[in-house]
């Protein structure tokens, strides 16, 4: 007796077959979209790092997309009898999922972080900045773009449905499944080894893809004597990616005009002694002003170039845009510097304190000389900025930025001086061409990133995070310098490092 399948079983079998092909098509699309993550990150630079990159790319994106199919679409094939409802629902789910992936890819390309709970505050700030520039035409275009994308998914779903009898004859299930499983398993296996060896070409890819949690086995390996955890942590503290030291400065030619009639005096304090009498002058104060330079030489460099001290060696022989641009446009520029300080490239600009020409004056002085330098005539000639907070004995010192300029921020760093000065003089060139800081006259970021020695420093929400590029970190409160037990905001750190390394030369 021949037992025929029931109509319901035949329908379910057809729907499941259709679902697998629909999932495979969307996995292919997702892998193409995910290429944005790959091309937005520096290449590994080694063969094994490149092999891991491709295995992780195909394995993780394939697994993530197929997992979405299993959770959201496959149950519908068994629970809903109407194929049209299933196709419409699956198309809507796929359209939303891939749209989120595309949005996350563009967000990662722009900021270096993914959509997550930790990135909500950063995402809100970014969204508010972009949304403020949108009119009804832009919102209408985005809505129309999603409707077109949803229509494509509906067409794809129907096209596969109409050809499913022909497609099931192609026996690609086992080869395709095996390929993605091998990619997924091998990428995690390789990462276990790379994590134990602190192999940077692989470790630095950890945050490349969304919802990625590469496998590690430090605890298990140490339990069986395969890894010395103490030695591992010691090696980890010494790891640092040397590529960050190389720099292209500026990244693009800086073209802008300068108002040569402006007078501006910038004073950077070179010691930690208190400055008395500043309240007698009408100046705004930025209480949370940070300078992370570990030496006076680095303090001068970061103030003039607007980039952290980690790039100091790479900038030898280069002229800061802050000095070269005004001089090139005919504005007098003078550097007033204490005799005990290094001069490097400053000899051509160095002038005595008594020099009273109009233009730009930048002074690097201890507290005693600053107080003799300040008088009412200095303020009557033009705007003034006074940056305090440098402490040779502590990289955790916090100072105050005093200024007559109309700044609109509560958080600032040494790297912000150069772009603020140039904008005050009338230069409207993009700040990211020549600095990692921001223009305090029109501040957009509520966080800052710098370096202190070999440590990357991120300040946000009254917390200071010091971290090595391999992930070893310490969080302290900026108000009392006490250690915080809060978890690391990986998305903020990723965004900050991406911002910091914009000047790095990548092979």
Asked if residues 269 and 399 have their Cβ atoms less than 8 Å apart, the reply is yes
Asked if residues 87 and 25 have their Cβ atoms less than 8 Å apart, the reply is no
Task: Return the pLDDT at 239.
Answer: 47
Q: Is the pLDDT of residue 170 over 50?
A: yes
* Range scoring the smallest mean pLDDT among 272-281, 314-323, 343-352: 343-352
Q: Delimit the domains of the chain by residue range.
A: 7-121+129-219, 244-503
- Average pLDDT of the segment spanning 146-161: 92
Most confidently predicted of 51-65, 141-155, 223-237: 51-65
**Please, what is the average pLDDT of the chain?**
82
- Strands (DSSP E) contained in 220-370 are 264-269, 284-290, 333-337, 360-365
Task: Return the pLDDT at 314.
Answer: 82
Q: Is the pLDDT of residue 432 over 50?
A: yes
Give the pLDDT band of residue 462 (cuts 50, 70, 90).
confident
Task: Return the pLDDT at 54.
Answer: 94
- 242 vs 367, more confident: 367
Tens of pLDDT along 252-298?
A: 888 899 988 899 999 999 988 888 888 888 899 999 999 888 888 88
Q: Is the pLDDT of residue 8 over 70?
A: yes
The single residue listed with the structure tokens 């978890």 is: 487
Task: Return the pLDDT at 143.
Answer: 84
Q: Is the pLDDT of residue 484 over 90?
A: no
Give the pLDDT band of residue 385 (cuts 50, 70, 90).
very high
Give the pLDDT band of residue 122 (cuts 50, 70, 90).
low
Q: Is the pLDDT of residue 126 over 60?
A: no
- 493 vs 260, more confident: 260
The single residue listed with the structure tokens 């997924």 is: 184
Asked if residues 318 and 335 have their Cβ atoms less than 8 Å apart, the reply is no
Asked if residues 284 and 377 have their Cβ atoms less than 8 Å apart, the reply is no
Long-range Cβ pairs for the range 112-116 (8 Å, 24+) = 112/494, 112/495, 112/496, 112/497, 112/498, 112/499, 113/207, 113/490, 113/491, 113/492, 113/494, 113/495, 113/498, 114/207, 114/210, 114/211, 114/491, 114/494, 115/210, 116/491
């Amino acid at each position: 007796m021949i037992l025929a399948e029931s109509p319901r079983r035949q329908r379910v079998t057809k729907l499941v077959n259709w679902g697998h092909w629909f999932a495979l098509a969307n996995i292919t699309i997702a892998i193409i979209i995910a290429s944005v993550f790959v091309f937005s990150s520096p290449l590994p630079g080694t063969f094994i790092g490149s092999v891991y990159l491709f295995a992780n790319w195909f394995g993780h994106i394939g697994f993530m997309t197929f997992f979405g199919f299993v959770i959201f679409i496959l149950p519908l094939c068994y629970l809903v009898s109407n194929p049209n409802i299933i196709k419409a629902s699956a198309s809507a789910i796929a359209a939303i999922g891939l749209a989120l992936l595309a949005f996350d890819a563009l967000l990662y390309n722009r900021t270096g972080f993914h959509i997550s709970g930790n990135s909500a505050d950063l995402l809100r700030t970014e969204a508010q900045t972009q949304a403020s520039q949108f009119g009804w035409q832009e919102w209408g275009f985005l809505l129309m773009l999603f409707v077109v994308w949803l229509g494509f998914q509906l067409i794809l779903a129907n096209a596969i449905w109409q050809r499913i009898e022909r497609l099931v004859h192609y026996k690609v299930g086992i080869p395709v499944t095996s390929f993605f499983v091998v990619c997924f398993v091998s990428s995690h296996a390789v990462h276990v080894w790379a994590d134990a060896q602190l192999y940077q070409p692989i470790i630095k890819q950890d945050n490349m893809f969304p919802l990625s949690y590469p496998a590690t086995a430090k605890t298990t390996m140490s339990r069986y004597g395969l890894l010395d955890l103490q030695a591992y942590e010691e090696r980890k503290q010494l790891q640092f990616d040397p590529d960050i030291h190389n720099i292209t400065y500026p990244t693009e030619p800086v073209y802008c005009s300068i108002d040569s009639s402006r007078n501006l005096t910038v004073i950077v304090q070179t010691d930690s002694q208190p400055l008395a009498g500043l309240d007698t002058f009408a100046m705004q104060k930025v209480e949370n002003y940070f300078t992370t330079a570990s030496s006076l030489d680095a303090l001068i460099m970061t103030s003039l170039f607007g980039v952290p001290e980690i790039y100091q060696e790479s900038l030898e022989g280069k002229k800061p845009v802050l000095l070269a641009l005004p001089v090139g446009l005919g504005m007098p520029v003078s550097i007033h510097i204490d005799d005990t300080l290094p001069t490097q490239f400053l000899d051509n600009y160095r002038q005595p304190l008594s020099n009273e020409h109009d233009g730009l004056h930048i002074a690097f002085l201890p507290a005693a000389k600053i107080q003799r330098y300040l008088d009412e005539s200095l303020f009557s000639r033009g705007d003034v900025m006074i940056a305090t907070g440098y402490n040779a004995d502590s990289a955790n010192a916090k100072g105050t930025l005093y200024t007559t300029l109309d700044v609109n921020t509560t958080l600032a760093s040494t790297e912000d001086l150069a772009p603020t000065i140039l904008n005050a003089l009338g230069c409207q060139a993009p700040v990211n061409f020549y600095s990692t800081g921001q223009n305090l006259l029109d501040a957009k970021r509520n966080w800052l990133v710098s370096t202190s020695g070999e440590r990357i420093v991120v300040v946000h929400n009254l917390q200071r995070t010091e971290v090595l590029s391999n992930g070893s970190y310490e969080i302290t409160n900026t108000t009392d310098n006490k250690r915080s037990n809060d978890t690391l905001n990986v998305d903020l750190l990723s965004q900050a490092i991406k911002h910091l390394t914009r000047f790095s030369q990548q092979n």
